[in-house]
Amino acid sequence: MVVSLKPLDRKILRDLWRIRSQAFAISLVIAAGVGMVVMSLGMMRSLDATRDAYYDLYRFADIFAPAKRAPKSVLEEIKAIPGVSVVEGRINAGATLDIPGIAEPITTRIHSIPSGREPRINALVLRSGRWPDPKQPDEVLASEKFAEAARIGLGDNIDALLYGKRQHLRIVGTALSPEYIYAIGPGQIFPDNRRFGVLWMGEEHLAASLDLTDAFNEALVRVDRSADARDVTRKLDRLLARYGGVSAYPRSEQISDRFVTNELAQLKTMTGILPPIFLGVAAFLINTVLSRMIDAEHEVIGLLMAFGYRGQAIMLHYAKIAVALSVPGLLLGLALGSWLGRGLAAMYQNFFVFPFLNYRAGLDIYALASLATVAVVLLGVFQSVRRVQRMTPIEAMRPPLPPNYAGAAARLIGRMRALDEPTRIILRGILRRPIRSALGSLGVAAALGLYITSAGSHDNVARMIEILFDQSNRADVIVTFAEPRDQRAIFALQRAPGVWRVEPMRIVGAKLMGPRQSKSEGLTAATPGDDLNRLVDIDGTITGPPPRGVLISYGLSNELGLSIGDPLEVQVTEGRRGHFTLPVAAIIQSAVGSPAYVDATMIAAKMNEAPLLSGAYLGVDPARIDELYRYLKVTPAIAGVSLRAAARTGLDETIGETMGIVTMFNTGFSALIVFGVIYNNARISLAERSRDLASLRVLGYRRSEVSYILLGELAILTIIGLPFGIAFGYLLSRWLSSSLGGDLFIVPFGLTASTVAQAVLLVLFAATITALFVRRRLDRLNLVAVLKTWD
Amino acid sequence: MASAPPLYRIEGLTKTYGEGDTAVQALRGVNLDVPQSAMVVLLGPSGSGKSTFLNIVGGLDQATSGHVHFEDVELTGLNDHGLTEYRRHHIGFVFQFYNLVASLTARENVALITEIADEPMDPTDALALVGLENRIDHFPTQLSGGEQQRVAIARAVAKRPKVLLCDEPTGALDSQTGVRVLEALDQVNRELGTTTLLITHNAVIAEMADHVLRFADGQLADSRPNPNRRRPGDMTW
């Protein structure tokens, strides 16, 4: 095939070939910026869409209304509440499992499923096996992730301790539920699938075990789209009060949904902040590179003008070059971003446990990323070409006048006697074009800052884990009781094998009310001097409970609309259900959750009861831990056990698999940008200086001496960029960590010196590699051409 | 060409660019001796091979065959490093477009070379030699074309090279300014005894030479002494 190209188009191809290595670096930078946007937005949208579809398809409840024991006849009354479309009663229970091959007791949540039909609300996705046979009392379904992690297979028998009774259960199938997208045990903030599981059991059999025949202890409600959910909740509370109802709550307070929403909000923040900055930095770099390239082309532009080419045609020519330069990077970025976005979404699908994934990158994302890139690139071209076109053709064609260096700064350098001439060339070169030099340094700074921010996410999470496990939660084992117990439980636990310290855990179920809104959030009772579970704020400061009043988290104070000194209204939802107010004594930035802390003695007095325990924090001799596990597995009162070491390991693994990978990609993209920036800086300097450098070579300068001039400038611009990059990275990282705060946990700012050092080393490494590469180019300078003699 | 031992002895010098059908023979066997301290002017039309000749003699380009002896050294046997050292210690260049470093003053441009030379002149003295003692702290943009070329000459001679190679040094200048530049070269040649090879298109300039070489078609078409060497100030074109 013979393709006939216009000469100018042929010039485009040759120009692109000539600058191919620079074009490659530009493509990488564009690909990084575009890829980041497509990856992040694609993943975000997919997760959002997947969650919504999952909730919808599997009829996730709108309202959860727990009670102590309500007869099934009440369900009809609930159905009659205006706005309620579907209602279902079910039975929930906590239990511990003894699974062969696992030393520690496993905490589980057991839910009833209707006999002979699928649940109308919170439907299950049957993943393997079959539904339990209503005639077989021991058959259960297990949550899929738990079955995998605990290595339980279909047909396996397990022992459960259910309300003090030992029961044999047989796994006949595995399932997923929209209720457990984020499956966490009591008091945990990250999933540990090996040590927390969910079972579903035939309603009649669970009812029999719990003495709840023809009754339920939780009503699930779906409401009409037009209904006022708050109103329905209030009516539910009123209806269930006499059956031990403890305040119905909406989906948004359901623990899994809260975490998923929180996680997605964090991802949204991450994707809302970093990718646009990535794209912005990439665009800025391309703009700089293009305008410098076009400046160098001004003789050609002058020639075209002299030949009578119209302004538009010339503009079009360079626009074509710019677009051709950006298209490979754009395509690469779109492909890479889609691929990684899909991969990341699949990873989160696994982490969040979705049965399917709706991948939605969307044409609009592609269009947005492409348009933004092309617009910036064209703007760069337009500005530069216009600048040349303002000259007369003859001015433009003339070799560039030597820039005027006769400024005050240049004189100052002249007076510095200690400098040699090559150093003067470097310094004057930098000072002569302060804006251009500043942009060069700024590019390095931006790339460095992005890298620090990306890699710093790791530090922030590490700091969070440190606050969580080293400063706050220091108990080796936390046990929770099925029902609150009195102080004698402490003595019993003190006698348990290996236990050297016991501290009481007391969480009073309550509804907290402020001027803005109310929230079901337990009051955590603490004793001054508690050592195993300490109140730690985001800066690592340890505080105790106030002697009077309540200490609340910053997030909670915001939600409820409270400041220090304001009264917090408390409606206790258990025991005698007291109603009182407590003054807000302090507000702290709590690292985890949005807790309200009170003094244990003070709250017992307020509630008019002897201090009770919801559970206990245990300090355990590691040598006797297995002995303790055996003891706990057979202790009837215990509904849940959580282990610090296991939780920490699980958390490390989880983060490694999720956030770690996102961080890795971000870091990789920013490293690409670092290389792209430095390489382009060097190549442009080389192009601008090659004539001077070749002259010096002709005059007898050695290669090393000539390299010094070029690489010295690169080194100085890079080094000037470092402190700004560190400052930019520090601020951006700090801002990002503060933006990530949710009501479940706050991400502290934990950027370490070693991450900064690593980033600086990367820049220096990139500069060194570039220097070696450019040095090779210097060796090939055309000395003859410099004499301008074409004989 | 002279009785004393020549500075350069050039034998059978050829240079071919490219290969096969597209090969261009820029030099086709040049034989020549260049005496010490001579002022040699090279004339010839474009493409005649004079610049190629100068590039090889100046250590900027490699010959295809033949030999160039500089004193006792055979240039054609030197590698890139050897040629750099040869240029560094023995050769001064003057280019058509001056090739001054724009970010350095006149003095600093000269110092750029004196810094790497073994027994250099003081940069100020070198500038005085070309009549620029009052312009030493000016940047290239503050100097006229002729002044810039004289700075380039000062830069070239400041290291006291044995050879000064000038490729169209007046090509970018008007005649009056050109004469001043040639006067500077003439003065350097007479006072310092620097062997000077000067390429020009302008036949009048040949009047200031001790020896005139005429290139044509890659060969030395004519080589003749000029017994009546004139001062540049007496020439007009």
pLDDT digits (tens, 9 = 90+) for A687-723: 778 878 888 888 888 888 888 988 898 899 999 999 9
Distance CA A534, CA A540 (A): 11
Number of A:B CB contacts under 8 A?
Answer: 118
- The pLDDT tens digits of the residues spanning B207-228 come to 999 999 999 999 999 999 999 9
- Map residue A194 onto helix, strand or coil: coil
- Alpha-carbon distance B51 to nearest alpha carbon in chain A (angstroms): 6
For residue B2, the model assigns a pLDDT of 46
Phi, psi of B141 (to 5 degrees): -65, -20
CB A759 within 8 A of CB B66: no
Chain B residue whose CA is closest to A697 = B84
Are A53 and A75 within one domain? no
Q: Quick one: CA dihedral A688, A694, A700, A702, positive or negative?
A: positive
Distance CA B85, CA B39 (A): 24
Distance CA A629, CA A624 (A): 9
**Orientation of helix A311-352 relative to helix A298-306, angle to 10°:** 140
Minimum-distance CB partner of A786 among B99, B105, B138: B99
Q: Does A788 touch chain B (CB under 8 A)?
A: yes
Angle value at C-alpha A493, between A489 and A496, nearest 5 degrees: 150
Chain B residue whose CA is closest to A425 = B103
Amino acid, res. A131: W
The two tokens of residue A709 are: 């001039």
- Alpha-carbon distance B176 to nearest alpha carbon in chain A (angstroms): 22
Minimum-distance CB partner of B142 among A406, A697, A790: A406
Cβ contact, residue pair B113, A703, below 8 Å = no
What is the second-level CATH architecture of the domain B8-226?
3-Layer(aba) Sandwich (3.40)
Minimum-distance CB partner of B111 among A404, A421, A691: A421
Could you give the residue ranges of the DSSP H alpha helices within A624-702?
A: 625-633, 644-657, 659-698
For residue A741, the model assigns a pLDDT of 66
Angle value at C-alpha A265, between A262 and A269, nearest 5 degrees: 140
Distance CA B169, CA A787 (A): 11
Are A267 and A247 within one domain? no
Cβ contact, residue pair A425, B46, below 8 Å = no
In a domain, A413, yes or no: no
- Map residue A751 onto helix, strand or coil: coil
Cβ contact, residue pair B87, A691, below 8 Å = no
Whole-angstrom Cα Rg for chain B:
17
Chain A CB contacts of B89 below 8 Å: 700
A745 forms beta bridges with: A592
Cβ contact, residue pair B105, A432, below 8 Å = no
CB B71 within 8 A of CB B12: no
Distance CA A255, CA A179 (A): 9
Q: Does A705 touch chain B (CB under 8 A)?
A: yes
Distance CA B1, CA A575 (A): 123
For residue A394, the model assigns a pLDDT of 62
For residue A239, the model assigns a pLDDT of 92
Residue ranges for chain B with pLDDT beneath 70: 1-3
Do the bridges between strand A596-599 and strand A523-526 make them parallel or antiparallel, or are there none, so unpaired? Answer: parallel
Minimum-distance CB partner of A404 among B104, B139, B199: B139
Q: How many domains does chain A have?
A: 4
Distance CA B216, CA B44 (A): 6
CA end-to-end span of chain B, whole Å? 28
Distance CA A636, CA A676 (A): 64
Amino acid, res. A499: V
Sorted by sequence, the CB contacts under 8 Å of residue B132 that are 6+ apart come out as B106, B147, B150, B151, B154
Distance of CA A170 to the CA centre of its chain: 38
Cβ contact, residue pair A691, B138, below 8 Å = no
Mutation to test the A interface, candidates B103, B114, B139, B159, most A Cβ within 10 Å? B103
Distance CA A124, CA B160 (A): 94
CB B49 within 8 A of CB A791: yes
CB A618 within 8 A of CB A424: no
Q: Does A404 touch chain B (CB under 8 A)?
A: yes
- Alpha-carbon distance A674 to nearest alpha carbon in chain B (angstroms): 29
Concatenate the DSSP letters of all residues of A333-358 into one string.
HHHHHHHHHHHHHHHHHHHHT-SS--
Are A9 and A81 within one domain? no
- Map residue A285 onto helix, strand or coil: helix
Are A42 and A66 within one domain? no
For residue A176, the model assigns a pLDDT of 95
The two tokens of residue A44 are: 């975000």
For residue A63, the model assigns a pLDDT of 95
Q: Does A428 touch chain B (CB under 8 A)?
A: yes
Distance CA A106, CA A642 (A): 8
Q: Does A709 touch chain B (CB under 8 A)?
A: no
- The CA distances from residue A596 to A23, A556, A616, in Å, are 58, 8, 18
Domain limits for position A28: 1-60+262-401
Chain A CB contacts of B99 below 8 Å: 691-692, 695, 698, 786
Minimum-distance CB partner of B48 among A414, A783, A791: A791
Q: Quick one: CA dihedral A364, A366, A369, A371, positive or negative?
A: negative
For residue B3, the model assigns a pLDDT of 60
For residue A697, the model assigns a pLDDT of 87
Cβ contact, residue pair A424, B88, below 8 Å = no
Minimum-distance CB partner of A428 among B60, B88, B103: B103
Minimum-distance CB partner of A787 among B112, B141, B167: B167
Are A153 and A216 within one domain? yes
Cβ contact, residue pair B141, A791, below 8 Å = no
Cβ contact, residue pair B60, A691, below 8 Å = no
With CA atoms as reference, report the closest residue to A468 among A545, A546, A535, A525.
Answer: A535
**Orientation of helix A659-698 relative to helix A20-57, angle to 10°:** 170
Distance CA A408, CA A251 (A): 69
Are A138 and A119 within one domain? yes
Distance of CA A133 to the CA centre of its chain: 42
In a domain, A637, yes or no: no
Residues in chain A: 791
Cβ contact, residue pair A791, B46, below 8 Å = yes
Cβ contact, residue pair B141, A405, below 8 Å = yes
- Map residue B194 onto helix, strand or coil: coil
Distance CA A108, CA A99 (A): 12
Could you give the residue ranges of the DSSP H alpha helices within A211-254?
A: 229-240
Residue ranges for chain A with pLDDT beneath 50: 1-2, 789-791
Chain A residue whose CA is closest to B89 = A700
Cβ contact, residue pair A405, B102, below 8 Å = yes
Are A45 and A68 within one domain? no
Question: Residue B134 burial by CB count (10 A; 0-12/13-18/19+): exposed, middle or buried?
Answer: exposed
* Enclosing H/E stretch for A262: helix A255-296
Are A98 and A245 within one domain? yes
Chain B CB contacts of A695 below 8 Å: 95, 99, 101
With CA atoms as reference, report the closest residue to A729 among A694, A699, A765, A760.
Answer: A760
Distance CA A245, CA A77 (A): 15
CB A185 within 8 A of CB A195: yes
- The CA distances from residue A624 to A194, A619, A629, A644, in Å, are 21, 11, 9, 15
Strand order in the sheet with A84-90: A84-90, A215-223, A63-71, A249-250
Distance of CA B193 to the CA centre of its chain: 14
Chain B residue whose CA is closest to A424 = B104
Minimum-distance CB partner of A791 among B51, B99, B142: B51
CA end-to-end span of chain A, whole Å? 38
Could you give the residue ranges of the DSSP H alpha helices within A125-191?
A: 144-149
Are A98 and A234 within one domain? yes
Q: Does A114 touch chain B (CB under 8 A)?
A: no
For residue A780, the model assigns a pLDDT of 78
* Enclosing H/E stretch for A640: strand A638-643
Distance of CA A538 to the CA centre of its chain: 18
Are A284 and A394 within one domain? yes
CB A285 within 8 A of CB A680: yes
Distance CA A70, CA A8 (A): 84
With CA atoms as reference, report the closest residue to B90 among A326, A700, A77, A633.
Answer: A700
Distance CA A466, CA A626 (A): 26
The two tokens of residue B179 are: 């004469």
Cβ contact, residue pair A700, B111, below 8 Å = no
In a domain, A736, yes or no: yes
Are A654 and A608 within one domain? no
Chain A residue whose CA is closest to B136 = A414
Mutation to test the B interface, candidates A692, A695, A697, A699, most B Cβ within 10 Å? A699
Cβ contact, residue pair A700, B102, below 8 Å = no
**Residue where a domain stops, chosen among A556, A586, A620:** A620
CB A61 within 8 A of CB A221: yes
Cβ contact, residue pair B51, A787, below 8 Å = yes
Distance CA A250, CA A239 (A): 16
Cβ contact, residue pair B93, A401, below 8 Å = no
Which residue's structure tokens are 């119209």? A310
Minimum-distance CB partner of B84 among A406, A414, A702: A702
